[in-house]
Structure 1
Amino acid sequence: MPRFSWHTEAVPGPLPVRQVYGFLFVPDGRLLIRLDRTKHSLPGGRPEPGEWRYADILRRETMEEVTLDIAFPHYLGYQLVDDGISPYAQVRMAAVIIGVHPAAPDPDSGRTYRRLLVHPGKAGDLLAWGETGYLQADAAAAAAIDVLGLPHDALPDNGEL
C-alpha cells in the first residue's frame, strides 16, 4: 500500500511529477471542489508530453475539467507517493478563479463535473485524504490569505458555481 507524505519544498529533480492539482478560490475566499457523482476532489491531472510548467498544467486541466479561468497560480508543495517501487510527486497549487464558463464535458473522460464552493475549512473533510490532505488544505488556506490576498473570513455556506 502506498505511503503519502506532504512536503513544502521544491520537488527534487529526479522525482517525476505525475499530477498537478489546484486549490482554487473565488475572490470572497471560498474554495472550489470538483464533484463527480459523490466523490469530492480538486481540479487537475497529469502533465501532457512536453508540459513541464506546473501553472500551465493546472490552467489546462482546470479549463478541461471545470471550465474556469485562473490567475496567480502559487506553488504550495507536493505530496510524495511512495509505493516502494517507483515513488512520484503530486504537485499542489493555489490560484484565484477569474472566469467562469458554462459547464462542459471533460475531453478526457466525457463527464461533466459539478463545481461546488465551500468554506476552506471544510476541504480536509470533503477531500478525505487523511492527515496529508488536512496539511495541504491548511497550506492552501494560508496561501489564499497571505499570497493571493483573499479574505480570511470566507463565507461559510456551500454553493454551486
Structure 2
Amino acid sequence: MPKFTWHTSAVPEGLPVRQVYGFLFVPDGRLLIRLDGSKHSLPGGRPEPGEVEYVDILRRETMEEVTVGIGEPHYLGYQCVDDGISPYAQVRMAALITTVHPPEPDPDSGRTYRRLLVHPGKAGDLLSWGETGYLQATAAAEAAVDVFALPGDDLPETGYL
C-alpha cells in the first residue's frame, strides 16, 4: 500500500514529478471540483514529454479537462507517493479562474467533465484523499484568502460552472 506524505517545501532534486493538480478558485471564493460521474477530483494530470514547468502543465491540463483559463498559479507543495519501488511527487498549486469556456470533451479521455463549485472547506471530504488531502485543501483555502484575497466566509451555495 503506498504511503502519502504532504510537504510545503520545493520538490527535492531527483524526485520525479508525475502529476500536477490545481485548486482553482472563482472570484467569489468557491473552489472548482472536477466531476466524472460520482468521482470528485481536481483538474490536472501528468507532464507531457518535454514539459517541466508546473505552471505550463497546470494551464494545459485545466484547459483540456475543464476548459478554464487561470491566472498566475501559486505553489502549495507536493505530495510524496512512496509505493515501495520508486517514490514520486504530485505537485499541488492554487490559481484563480480568469476565463470560462463551454465544456468540451477532454482530448485524452473523450469525456466531458462537470464543473462543481464548492466551499473550500468541503474539498477534503469530496476528494477523499485522507489526511494528506485535508492538509492540501487547508493550504489551498489559506492561499485563496492570503494570496488571492478571496472571501473566506459567507460564500455562495454549491453550484455548477
TM-score range, shorter chain: over 0.9
* Structure 2 residue aligned with 1:21: 21
Q: What's the TM-score, normalizing by structure 2? A: 0.98
* Structure 2 residue aligned with 1:56: 56
**SS of match in other structure, 2:48:** coil
Measured after TM superposition, the shift of residue 113 of structure 1 is 0.2
Calculate percent identity across the aligned residue pairs: 81
**Aligned AA (1:133):** G
Distance 1:54 1:42 in 2: 15
* Structure 2 residue aligned with 1:153: 153
* Structure 1 residue aligned with 2:6: 6
Given that 1:29 and 1:154 are in contact with CA atoms closer than 8 Å, whether structure 2 keeps it comes out as no
Q: Which runs of 5+ in 1 are unaligned?
A: none
* Structure 2 residue aligned with 1:134: 134
**Aligned CA-pair RMSD:** 0.7
**Aligned AA (1:15):** L
Q: Against the structure 1 CA distance between its residues 154 and 66, is the aligned structure 2 distance closer, same or farther, given a 3 Å change threshold?
A: farther
* Structure 1 residue aligned with 2:69: 69
> How many residues were matched structurally?
161
Quick check: 1:82 aligned with 2:86? no
Distance 2:160 2:152 in 1: 21
Q: Which runs of 5+ in 2 are unaligned?
A: none
Distance 2:143 2:77 in 1: 11
Structure 1 segments of 4+ aligned residues over 3 angstroms from their partners = none
